[in-house]
Amino acid sequence: MAKPQHFIFLLVHDFTHIAFSCAVEPLRIANLVSGKELYTWSYASENGETATCSNGSVTLVHHKQDALPDSDRLFVLSGIRVQDHTDKSLLACLRRERARGTKIGALCSGAYVLAKAGFLTGIQTAIHWEFHDGFMEEFPQVNLVRNVFVSDEKIITASGGTATADLMLHMIERDHGYDLSVAVSDQMVYNAVRDATAEQRVSLQSRHGMRNKHLARAIQKMHETIEYPISPTLIAEEVGISTRQMERLFGKFLNCSPKKYYVEIRLERARHLLLQTEGSVTEISLACGFESAGHFSRVYRSAFGVTPSVQRSRLS
């Protein structure tokens, strides 16, 4: 029998409990459903005794961060006020682990800790959307993306919340097959599992607020015209700014061009329709502003790695 993979979760003070549960429970259920010990896990903290999450719950841990045993991967899990909790001892711990060849990952705001340690230069990285603006300002050398998780880099990252479950289910599928991953998600009553290409979606008010009224209005206009897309130039005119000003806003706050963002929200709408309705691929392509089902399928596959038909079969 193959040796189970062992993951250590390094719990930083004020870590997020939902991300913690979504990381551990898929592993437990994978063992339960398969009838095999595929995964083992343990927890670590600064004092080696307990870790307190942002909701006040206290978790007993197995290891002190200065004396970690060997593992197949070390996940840094943090939450609110991560800047205040990223100290020299934590960074020293992570640098030691990397030096001895430990694979490392980050969950929720944990990517901030790894960026502070200098691990993420040039690497595609996911972090919770609330940290995006400040993160891009502080770490411009990191290739920050809006994806729910990133799994194809040497350091894997998940944006937090249920995105952590998406990452774990992806790892279970990669290591032990699609059928087991589906069985685990069924046990979790989680039938809308997202792949790595899915993006974090939040309300315009939460993400952009009144700080960027032109950007919020431009995005709102894009959402209103998904079925019949209009040019970014026309959107800029209706918002009352120049095309160049709009491009700068999208680059600064969303790290992409208006055109790319427009296509992405149309694709995300299409993805939701594939999951939530019985409309044909042709009907969905037209509803999302694509000129033909063939063009839609090509763009969709380029973005998500699968055709709309395959996507529907895997999410149903």
**110 in the same domain as 219:** no
122: Cβ–Cβ under 8 A, 6 or more apart, which residues? 141, 142, 143
Least confident of 27-41, 91-105, 194-208: 194-208
**99 in the same domain as 174:** yes
Residue range 154-191, pLDDT digits in tens:
999 999 889 999 999 999 999 999 999 999 999 998 87
Output the pLDDT for position 216.
Answer: 86
Residue range 184-228, pLDDT digits in tens:
999 998 876 777 666 666 555 455 443 678 988 899 899 899 999
Report the sign of the C-alpha dihedral through residues 29, 57, 193, 187, in that order. positive
Q: How confident is the model at residue 234 (pLDDT cuts 50, 70, 90)?
A: very high
Examine the pLDDT at 275 and tell me if it is beyond 60: yes
**172 in the same domain as 129:** yes
What range does the domain containing 114 cover?
5-187
Q: Which domain CATH number covers 275?
A: 1.10.10.60
Question: Is 195 among the domain residues?
Answer: no
**183 in the same domain as 209:** no
Pairwise CA distance, residues 175 & 75, whole Å: 17
150: Cβ–Cβ under 8 A, 6 or more apart, which residues? 124, 125, 126, 156, 157, 158, 196
Question: Is 198 among the domain residues?
Answer: no
Least confident of 233-237, 240-244, 254-258: 254-258
Question: Is 210 among the domain residues?
Answer: yes
**218 in the same domain as 93:** no
Output the pLDDT for position 288.
Answer: 93
Question: Is 154 among the domain residues?
Answer: yes
Average pLDDT over residues 269-283: 83
Residue range 54-80, pLDDT digits in tens:
999 999 999 999 999 999 999 999 999
294: Cβ–Cβ under 8 A, 6 or more apart, which residues? none
Residue range 3-28, pLDDT digits in tens:
999 999 999 999 999 999 999 999 99
Question: Looking at the 3D structure of the chain, how many domains does it have?
Answer: 2
DSSP collapsed to 3 states, 117-138: CCCCECCEECCCHHHHHHHHHH
Domain boundary among the residues 139, 157, 187 is at 187
**224 in the same domain as 182:** no
Pairwise CA distance, residues 94 & 100, whole Å: 10
Q: Which domain CATH number covers 110?
A: 3.40.50.880
Question: Is 128 among the domain residues?
Answer: yes
Q: For residue 153, count other CB atoms closer than 10 A to its CB.
A: 15
Output the pLDDT for position 190.
Answer: 84
Domain boundary among the residues 121, 156, 187 is at 187
**152 in the same domain as 109:** yes
- Report pTM: 0.69
Output the pLDDT for position 139.
Answer: 92
Question: Is 196 among the domain residues?
Answer: no
**234 in the same domain as 291:** yes
Share of the chain above pLDDT 70, in %: 93
Extract the tokens encoding 256: 């992409």
